[in-house]
Structure 1
Amino acid sequence: MKQRYHVLLCLLGVIGCLLFFPRDLSSALTFTPQALYDLTASRTGQAAAKPVPFVSSGFAGFLDENGRPQYVEKIRYGAAVSSMGIINYDSVSTKLVMRNRDGEIQVAIETRGYPFFLKERLLIISTDRLRLKEYTTDGDLLWSATFPSPVTACAAAGNRFLIGLLNGNFLYLNEAGEPLYSFTPPEGRIKVAYGAAMDAASEASLVVAGIDPQTAYLLEERNGELNSIESFPLGSDLRRNLLVSSLHGGRFAIEQEQGLLVVDRTNLRRRYFSIPGRLLSVQGHPESNLLSALSQDDSDRFVSMIGSESNYRGRLRLAGYGPGTSILWSGNRFIILVDGHVLVYRLELI
């Protein structure tokens, strides 16, 4: 109990310091502390009209657009959350129960595997990672696909799915789970698919594959064919899944060792940013080019703000915080979830 009060007092101290001494991230951009909430406190009231789903610090659920917790569950083993609902599951489950934003049971699906959401689509991957299924929120099976090698990466946009496999191949599926295209990266002494992302219109995608060298490929669908627009070796040769994200405006983010690489498909420009520790998450502001990056070194976590493709705007150190921290945007509100608490900042142009 004393430890929880100590943590809460530390967070209030950080809020107070930033409130009286705001962090000026540029001559015209300021983040102002707005609120602090406890995820473990009881909540009442109706579900938010625009819910913000989250998974963080051993909890999963929904915030309202102002960052206030609306419905929260403690994670048993894993959790999948989207605006449609939440699935809190055990390590071995034969029935997956989906609840709505009020916590009421919406549907129970009799199946084995691990659920996750891609662009509001409910997918379940088998425990051996060889089979993938899509379900409706009513529990109806839409399609099922089996792959020759374990799935290592998944992305979705529009009516397309992009699946990366352990054997190094990438498969494009239509909305019925049927194969459309395949891509086999030519580079790399060892063939492995490490990451994939698709842009919002599903016109372009970026995949990372191979070891020695590890290579990124920018792909685009044109006139019923899949074309490779550009490929380039990466500075890192990480032998694990990489964080590859799609950002608005035709940009992609690629995790690098101690850094972040931003690729713009419109002009094929690439920009590298040094980030302390290992990159955990990249979130783009919905109405600007501002990026927020969460990273971790041996003992601390950092939130870095990148105001454009050429300069930083600021960095916040979360000393002593380990697994469970997450970041997200809700309009002009930047939200940090850490140690069972929600810190809300307001983005202001002055």
Structure 2
Amino acid sequence: MRRRFYGLILGIAAIIFSLFSVRSTLPEREIASSVFLTFSEALDLSRIPMARTDQIMPFIGDSFLGYADLSKNKLYVHPFKERAAIDKLGWITYGRLATDLQLYDINGRKRSLQAYAYPWFKASWRVLLRADQMGIALIDETGFILWEKEFPMPVTAIDASSSFLAIGTLDGSISVFDRNGCAVLSIQASFQESQTIYGLALSKDSKYLIILRGISPKKIETYRFEDNSFAKLSESSLMVNTTFQATMAIAQDNSHAIMSFGDLLIYYNIKNKYYKILEAEMLGGDLSENQTDVRYFVLGPLGYSLVAILRSGLEDTAKSDVLILNHGLLVHIAHGALGAISDEEVIGFVYKDGVELLKGWQP
């Protein structure tokens, strides 16, 4: 009897070891293959084939940035310091105080930009947020300014889709621009109450805009783009007591949004207009630790109804995980990851020493 008991314990220990000896935990039936590409064996950016530039995915790691060819299992990397923004055409490095902007093309050739600004890249938009946060400029791949906008109050939230760029400000104003810089939505601030924009998110298909404004209670406003304009669909109260700025993303299927406020993570159902706070035990958290010891940052949608979240330690910022949520439910944890990228049925997790690719993902 005792021998059978010890055999059972050893069997359980073997299962636990197999679960925690891989970088990320996921049931095997949900992926077709997994490969880890190290930065030490990556190729130089000058070796990216011109015929593959549309297939590569940009990423930023701890001290390397570059591109992953998800179908060919290849990495092309470049070392960097301080901060950076990247897209499929190249990247910008810059200092913490919005100085020393260096613009690179995809093969690593660089030029200096004479500007004091924070670069922000998404969905082929290249935006420079002025150092005082009261103006933006849209630039092309050469650094040429296509158009500029100024605001009476500092910018507090920004997001972009393939068609639109949305800006929220400290006084509660909202501006949404098209590629030509024309305003398709303009909401002026109310002087009767504090309506600071704490966060906003555009859906990938440009059909939905969600705005988070106010202090207590906060308001979640949902807009839909129809007939060449945004129309307000709903307004809901969010009863959370926090002054953290929000990070937000709308799932690719437009079913819901995920938003974070420091140590709070919230699921919002767009159709049914309700929200729920996602507790630590629902997110694979260590219940022996205080929930306030972590910070959440919404990385963005990964396809279908999946959204990626970065969870980092408050005191030990080097400790981080990437969580994958499906309709607000935890389906995957990449322990130690810093970021995530995706393309169709391939999801990549960025670590300090390389990129892990999971292929054949079926949510």
For the criterion TM > 0.5, the same-fold answer is: yes
Alpha carbons of structure 1 residues 129 and 180: separation in structure 2 relative to 1, 3 Å? same
Q: How many residues align?
A: 326
**Alpha-carbon distance, 1:168 to partner:** 1.8
Identity of aligned residues (%): 15
- Residue 8 of structure 1 corresponds to none
**Alpha-carbon distance, 1:233 to partner:** 2.2
1:46 paired with 2:50, answer: no
CA deviations 1:1-34 (Å, max 9, x no partner) are xxxxxxxxxxxx9999339xx94538x4248542
**Alpha-carbon distance, 1:125 to partner:** 1.4
Structure 2: distance between partners of 1:236 and 1:268:
16
Structure 1: distance between partners of 2:159 and 2:25:
36
1:294 paired with 2:310, answer: yes
Normalising by structure 2, report the TM-score: 0.75
Normalising by structure 1, report the TM-score: 0.78
Structure 2: distance between partners of 1:309 and 1:91:
35
- Residue 141 of structure 2 corresponds to 137
Please say which structure displays the higher CA radius of gyration.
2
Please report the RMSD computed on the Cα atoms of aligned residues, expressed in angstroms.
Answer: 3.5
- Residue 7 of structure 1 corresponds to none
1:68 paired with 2:74, answer: yes
- Residue 281 of structure 1 corresponds to 298
In the TM superposition, what are the counterparts of 1:1-350 in structure 2 within 5 Å? 17-18=21-22, 23-25=25-27, 28-30=29-31, 33-38=34-39, 43=44, 46-47=47-48, 49=52, 50-66=55-71, 68-75=74-81, 77-91=82-96, 96-105=101-110, 109-183=113-187, 190-223=194-227, 226-250=230-254, 251-256=256-261, 258-266=263-271, 268=273, 270=275, 272-274=277-279, 275=283, 276=285, 277-286=294-303, 288-298=304-314, 299=316, 300-306=319-325, 308-309=326-327, 311-318=329-336, 325-348=338-361
Letter of the aligned partner of 1:70 in structure 2? Y
SS at match of 1:211: coil
Structure 2: distance between partners of 1:188 and 1:233:
18
SS at match of 2:22: helix
CA deviations 1:199-254 (Å, max 9, x no partner) are 23323200111111122111224445543211222243331321111321124322
Structure 2: distance between partners of 1:205 and 1:150:
20
**Alpha-carbon distance, 1:97 to partner:** 3.7
Structure 1: distance between partners of 2:165 and 2:33:
39
SS at match of 2:322: strand
Q: Name whichever of 144-153 and 38-47 sits farther off.
A: 38-47
Asked whether the 8 Å contact 1:189–1:212 carries over to 2, the reply is: no
Alpha carbons of structure 1 residues 74 and 197: separation in structure 2 relative to 1, 3 Å? same
Alpha carbons of structure 1 residues 211 and 271: separation in structure 2 relative to 1, 3 Å? closer
Structure 2: distance between partners of 1:254 and 1:92:
27
Structure 1: distance between partners of 2:40 and 2:125:
26
Structure 1: distance between partners of 2:166 and 2:327:
27
Alpha carbons of structure 1 residues 333 and 186: separation in structure 2 relative to 1, 3 Å? same
Task: Extract unaligned runs of 5+ from structure 1.
Answer: 1-12
SS at match of 2:259: strand
**Alpha-carbon distance, 1:163 to partner:** 0.7
Structure 2: distance between partners of 1:340 and 1:289:
29
**Alpha-carbon distance, 1:121 to partner:** 1.6
SS at match of 1:255: strand
Structure 2: distance between partners of 1:224 and 1:33:
43
Asked whether the 8 Å contact 1:125–1:133 carries over to 2, the reply is: yes
Alpha carbons of structure 1 residues 268 and 224: separation in structure 2 relative to 1, 3 Å? same
